[in-house]
Amino acid sequence: MLIKINPEIEQALQKKLPVVALESTIISHGMPYPQNVEMAMECERIIRSEGAIPATIAVINGILTIGLTKAEIEILAKEGHSVHKTSRRDLPYVVQTKRNGALTVSGTMIAASLAGIRFFATGGIGGVHRGAEVTMDISADLEELAMTDVMVVCAGAKAILDLEKTLEYLETKGVPVLGYQTKKLPAFYTRESDYNVDFQMDTPGEIAEFYSVKHQLGLKGGVLVCNPIPESHSIEKAWMDKVINEALDDMIKLGIKGKDTTPYLLGRIVEKTKGVSLEANIALVYNNCRLAAQIALAYAQRS
């Protein structure tokens, strides 16, 4: 058995009830213990409170598991960075070697699609890294959005990235970028960046209708919904830019590259902001879970 679907989720999908996928890299690599467990459980609670069913996804002992138990979430949370960070490239290896794997955005999209889950809430997507014209460091998340039919609700691309190039890449791949009640691309920790989304949508119902029309037209690939961080937790842009640039300088001096860059930078930013960025990260994830559940419910009601 390569894939295991939680019975509650399997029944919900059969009945065409709203289900929202949740990634697991944010548990193992995105936050320290025990905040990561508290965050994961609260995400599930919020989704249920909005009338949808949560499905946290990871590889557990080599089995792609759709809908983790609390005990399985605890395992990922405590093992932290020793859990294999798993994207499309890594999935066969992690399953073959019967490891525990925390799924990235791209990995979660694949798993959700295999299970028939159309909606996915996360913090921020990966994208084109700063200096990618030299390093060619571009997240697999972008290519997955071009290929896999899952709607990803996020707070924009992570602010450590080159946002302009990330949007250009998505445009080239034909991925629609929707702004929830905004024309500006959110920048993760802050509500706005200097760049525009493709289309502003003001209600979950509008977004659900957009997704339905896309399916009726037979267009492949995903949709990116960008939901600004709540104003109460938005961080002042100039200060955040300074912190990010300092963290990037530290990373370059240490020679950190590849898939280790994002966990390092997010951790370093937490240190430099004395935990303020972690609080913001948690708040935006909850916000995205709520919106994803509302969209999934609106879509189910259209079916």
- The question of whether 143 is a catalytic residue gets the answer no
Spatial separation of the C-alpha atoms in residues 285 and 267, rounded to whole Å: 17
Spatial separation of the C-alpha atoms in residues 62 and 175, rounded to whole Å: 31
Question: What is the DSSP secondary structure assignment for residue 299, as one 8-state letter?
Answer: H
Query: β-pairing, 3-5 with 63-66?
Result: parallel
Q: How far is CA 61 from the centre of its chain?
A: 23
Spatial separation of the C-alpha atoms in residues 245 and 20, rounded to whole Å: 34
- The question of whether 8 is a catalytic residue gets the answer no
The one catalytic residue among 23, 50, 74, 144: 23
Spatial separation of the C-alpha atoms in residues 126 and 133, rounded to whole Å: 16
Q: Half-sphere exposure of 289 toward its Cβ, with a 13 Å CA cutoff?
A: 27
The one catalytic residue among 74, 85, 158, 259: 158
Render 121-147 in DSSP notation, one character per residue: E-S-B--BBTTHHHH--B-HHHHHHHH
Render 254-281 in DSSP notation, one character per residue: HT--GGGHHHHHHHHHHHHTTTHHHHHH
Q: Residue 37 has which token pair?
A: 């467990």
Render 44-99 in DSSP notation, one character per residue: HHHHHHTT-EEEEEEEETTEEEES--HHHHHHHHHHGGGSEEE-TTTHHHHHHTT-
Which residues form the catalytic set? 23, 158
